Structure 1
């Protein structure tokens, strides 16, 4: 089997590539979620459509995969002061859950308009939350300061 990707070129050693996927650190935090057949959508489109049920993850989103993978691969000396991220939703929970698992300090900057349920979800992972700005762009800018 030869795996090809426009951005990453060709993986001539597909066994090595598949091994990297199989042994990825994201499985430390992500549950194996099922793939289900979407009958109504398949019938409407005239093709078999399958859905990867990432809504069954602990934070109800795929965002924990990317956040954990990024943070776990940062050199430890760069994590001494912790992690800062800006988000108003599932990415914030992904970062907060990764930091809790890795025992890293975490600050999430969220817009003042963030729903209370999202704020509580992030705090439940032990992260500090700072509400700043009226929108995501203002929160991101503040996180970089």
Structure 2
């Protein structure tokens, strides 16, 4: 079987389809992977390039691309959402540590935030910010890399 692959169009009808919700604007490559399905919307009958292969190849490629897009979008948010909230006392302690001017040199606070943010969240984004800070410091000081690994 020959299956249709992407072709060059003016793009106006494609933009219109995206505005109407028929094509996903946030999933690059979706149009290219599904052009054999969407050509009925085009309103013209240009000759398309063809390739041989299973129709499932294009579907699988589109699915894999969509899965990767979702993983990228969800990323840190999903990890953060899976973690349980700290109890109120620990959340308050975390906030006090976070606001210390010498946080990155304060061994007790680094240990406390590292241990608690590894499995919990404050609900305010503090642990996410702490993780980002640790990863950034890890680029310059290897001492923080061990902490980054457990976060």
Settle same-fold status: TM greater than 0.5.
Answer: no
TM-score, normalised on structure 2?
A: 0.29
* Structure with the bigger percentage of strand: 1
* Structure with the bigger percentage of helix: 2
Q: Could you say which structure has the greater relative contact order, defined with CA pairs below 8 angstroms and 6 or more residues apart?
A: 2
TM-score, normalised on structure 1?
A: 0.30
